Amino acid sequence: MRSSIGVGLIGMGVVGSGVARAITENSTALHSHVGSPLKLIRVAVRDTSKQREFMVSQNILGDNPEELINDESVNIVVELMGGEHPALELILAAVKNGKHVVTANKEVISKHGSEIFSLARENNVRVLFEASVGGGIPIISPLMRDLVANDIKSIKAIINGTTNYILTRMANEQADYQQVLQEAQELGYAESDPTSDVEGIDAAYKLSILSTLAFRASVKDTDIFTEGITSLTDKDFSYAKELGYSIKLLAIATRTDSSVLGRVHPALIPKEQMLAKVDDALNAVEVETDLLDKVLFHGPGAGSMPTSSAVVADIVNIARTIAGGTDLLDPVRLSDEIEIRSIDTLITKYYFRLEAEDQPGVLARIAAVLGDCGISISSFIQKGLGDQSTNAELVIMTHEASESSVTRAVSSLRGLEVVRMIGNVIRVVE
């Protein structure tokens, strides 16, 4: 038996503190899982004088991650600093030094996954990243191993807790986006700069990782069509409810033959569907396959302890193979035969909310514009906007139409003098 397996930790914030605590306080249980003791050799942070959730001995605390990467007694480097740089360079340097790596960094894996995986293969080390998507929910490992016999057709997911929390409150309280965002920031559910969450960027990083694993193809964040939640209003929630739908920020990847379409956008989903019931900061990933039909992974997508659970599991998996002297299976072999499809090829149903003059014949003119673009109406709601207004609000639900025809229709409707404003156009996912 090895005397111990050395762990070096870069970052001891929300997740790193939980990981340091678990390695230190659960050492006996981890020893028995691994077969050798796990030892925290070094921890690198920015500010060594900071008071932390969990404190480690000053002897192992430093502010130079390079030292940790070059320390011969460190077998596993755990990167929990976040951000693209210098996290990427540190991961690459660790791999070149023959260290295994565990990371929760969705941005680095999304943008640089294929480079990291092939360097890891060359150096005969492993890079595991279970916590990068869905926090504590096991989803990466099932995609890499447990679902390997399946042909995965699609992934449909709620993978950003901040936006799901905001949308849940908007739906339940008929509240305004700005007001809910501000309260979410005060409660610590949203960052002071919420751009990455509310514009769908964070969800696109995560969807690119899931798609890469599900379809065994390099799908980058830039391959994902991304639209955030900032245009949603309390009116959209009210109409969605009336029509029997919930509104969620969905991350969807679909494989057709040899192409993949990845998209993150707000969507109307029938309220009886499982994903429609995933509320607050929870996450869920629905995977549709040929053998299993649909399987749903659901749980806390962030937070210190849930995320640490996934990071420590990766550390234990690597440590077991080091202790047993066996090779960890190479889980990420990518094919380059998959093409990325543009959002223009999407065919789905749509919800239009617009304001138009409240006069006879207006609906017929709008329907004619839609018809000219090949879009047919399945139902509509018309409401007056009060005694003083000469306008009415129209909500139109369409039959299936192509994204490119909807883009054309929106532009034509903007040019129609009876249309005062296009409030929103939201894709429907059934």
Residues near ligand NAP (CB under 6 A) are 10-16, 44-47, 50, 65, 80-82, 104-106, 131, 135, 302-303, 307
Phi, then psi, of 271 in degrees rounded to 5? -70, -15
Gap between the Cα atoms of 392 and 310, Å rounded: 51
Q: Which is nearer to ligand NAP, 47 or 327 (CB)?
A: 47
CB atoms within 10 A of CB 4: 17
Q: Phi/psi at 411 (nearest 5 deg)?
A: -65, -40
- Return the SS3 of 233: coil
Task: Please tell me the total number of residues recorded for the chain in this structure.
Answer: 430
Select 17 or 168, whichever has its Cβ closest to ligand NAP: 17
Collect all residues with Cβ–Cβ distance below 8 Å to 10 and sequence separation of at least 6: 16, 43, 44, 65, 68, 77, 78, 79, 80, 81, 87, 90
Please report how close the Cβ of residue 104 comes to ligand NAP at its closest, in angstroms: 3
Distance of closest approach, residue 71 Cβ to ligand NAP, in angstroms: 15
CA dist 132 and 114 (Å) reads: 15
Strand ranges (E), 271-323: 282-289, 293-300
Q: Counting beta carbons within 10 angstroms of the beta carbon of residue 399, is it exposed (0 to 12), middle (13 to 18) or buried (19 or more)? A: exposed
Residue 346 Cβ vs ligand NAP, minimum distance, rounded to whole Å: 29
Residue whose CB is less far from ligand NAP, 6 or 16? 16
Token digits for 110?
């999304």
Rounded least distance, CB 332 to ligand NAP, Å: 19
In the complex, residue closest to ligand NAP by CB: 13
Helices (H), 40-105: 65-69, 87-96
Closest CB to ligand NAP among residues 16, 200? 16
The nearest distance, CB 11 to ligand NAP, in angstroms, is: 3
Q: How far apart are CA 118 and CA 114, in angstroms?
A: 6
Which one of the listed residues 106, 206, 220, 248 is annotated catalytic? 206
206 in catalytic set = yes
Closer of 134 and 266 to ligand NAP (Cβ): 134
- State the minimum distance, in angstroms, from the CB of residue 193 to ligand NAP: 13
83: DSSP letter: S
Nearer to ligand NAP, 6 or 300 (CB): 300
DSSP character string of 6-19: EEEEE--SHHHHHH
Taking the least distance from each CB to ligand NAP, the nearer of 37 and 200 is 200
Residue 304 Cβ, how far from ligand NAP at the closest point, in Å? 7
Residues with Cβ within 8 Å of residue 423, at least 6 apart in sequence = 233, 235, 236, 353, 354, 355, 393
DSSP bridge partners of 158 = 284
The residues annotated as belonging to the active site are: 206
